[in-house]
Each structure stands twice: as structure tokens, then as C-alpha cells.
A and B are shown apart, each in its own frame.
Chain A
């Protein structure tokens, strides 16, 4: 079974600074997808970034980038120039390729941003 581990329950960052959220996963599959979702107090789960396992290049979306280490099964999220609106719960998630595969979430990390 696939598992996703987010070992840090909470982190804090100063506004305009950079923070890295860690995530590890366990799978025997070779074709899969990894995601970071953000859930602010407004409740809506928002896709931040995704990574296809077959791509060696790390995904980036504006201030958000990932460090994908396939051999180490590590998928960390770096947030640059942190903003107050980045405060939220962040979930790392895994999905193997194929029909009817489920999205497996980590426990999540609560990120606070200090002004």
C-alpha cells in the first residue's frame, strides 16, 4: 500500500522569507503523480503544484517549487517570498497512474506566516 508521510505538524515562516515543507512517500509503482494541495481557513482545497514521476525536472509554479528525489521518495515544497495569504494547511498527496486509483494524502502541515 502506498503511504505519504508529512512528519512536521506545524511550521512558521517570516513574511518574505523562504520555507520548505517536507514529504516522503512509499510506493512500489514506477508511474505515479505527486501533488501539493493548500487548504486555507476558507476550506477549499487548492492545487498548488504537481509532479509526474517520469519527469526528472522539478515542477515550478511562480513562488512554489518542488524538490523531487525519486530514488529517495522525497517530494518537498519550497515557498519563496512567503506571503500572509500562504498561511494554510498543506497536504502532500500521491496517486498512481491508472483508472480508479485513489489520491492518498499525508497528514498535512499547518503553515503560519508572521508579518
Chain B
């Protein structure tokens, strides 16, 4: 099973709303990632969690707040977003040891539209 599940698939929100994106994996991976992807562009790394601790923050604005409640779950809390934040948000996970430690498995993403 190499499945990373993201919910919701689509999200429309106003600039004053608060919403959350959810990502779940049951592969025993101890690294989880959030990426932002604009149309026809490569994904851009936002955050990395290793062993449930934030290890990389790519200078992301504070209106994006990640959370890793346990080793299977990763959330991205959204507040006071701007229209330019509209994008596909991808979650990924990987092992931190072993032969497959460098392979990231991606979810299908959440398509976010900020009005």
C-alpha cells in the first residue's frame, strides 16, 4: 500500500475564512511534506516533518500553519489567505531509514481556490 490520502479534494474559501487541509498515510513513514503547486509548474516545498517535528519551513507566510498530531496525520491550517494562494496543495510522505528512504509518495492533492 503506497497510498497518501488528502481531504478535501477541492476547497473554496474566502479571505477571512479558516480552513484546514488533511493528509493521512498508513505506510509507517516518519517524514511528511507539504508542497504548493501552481498550474504547469513543479511543486514547491513548504514544510517537512520528521518524527512528528517540524524540520524544514521554507519561509512560508504565517497564514499557513502546519501540524503533525501523530505519525500518520498531517494538517495544514489556513487563515486569512490571499487570492494568490490559490493552488494545488500536495502532501507526501517517505521513510527516514531503509532502502526506500529517499522515495516520496504523493497524495492527489487539494485544489484550493481563495476568493
Query: What size tier do the contact residues of chain A reach?
Result: 20 to 34
Q: Is A30 an interface residue (CB 8 A)?
A: no
Q: Return A24 CB to nearest CB of chain B, in Å.
A: 15
Check A45/B40 contact, CB under 8 A, given A33-B102, A100-B56.
Answer: no
Q: Which residues of B contact A1 (CB under 8 A)?
A: none
Q: Mark B42-70, 1 if CB is under 8 A from A, else 0.
A: 11010010100001100000000000000
- The residue in chain B whose Cβ has the minimal distance to the Cβ of A110 is B40
Q: Is B108 an interface residue (CB 8 A)?
A: yes
Q: Mark A44-66, 1 if CB is under 8 A from B, else 0.
A: 11110010000000000000000
Asked whether A103 lies within 8 Å of B104 as measured between CB atoms, the reply is yes
Asked whether A102 lies within 8 Å of B42 as measured between CB atoms, the reply is no
Number of interface residues of B (CB under 8 A): 22
Q: Which residues of A contact B102 (CB under 8 A)?
A: 33, 50, 95, 97
Q: Which residues of B contact A35 (CB under 8 A)?
A: 103
Q: Which residues of B contact A42 (CB under 8 A)?
A: 108
Check A100/B109 contact, CB under 8 A, given A47-B103, A91-B42.
Answer: no
- What are 26 of the A-B contact pairs (CB < 8 Å)? A33-B102, A35-B103, A37-B106, A43-B88, A44-B106, A44-B107, A44-B109, A45-B43, A45-B92, A46-B106, A47-B105, A50-B102, A91-B42, A95-B102, A97-B102, A99-B50, A100-B56, A102-B48, A102-B56, A103-B45, A105-B43, A106-B42, A107-B41, A108-B40, A108-B41, A110-B40
Write the residues of chain B forming the contact surface with A, with a CB cutoff of 8 angstroms: 40-43, 45, 48, 50, 55-56, 88, 90, 92, 96, 102-109, 111
Q: 5 closest pairs, A vs B, by CB?
A: A105-B42, A45-B106, A44-B108, A33-B102, A43-B109
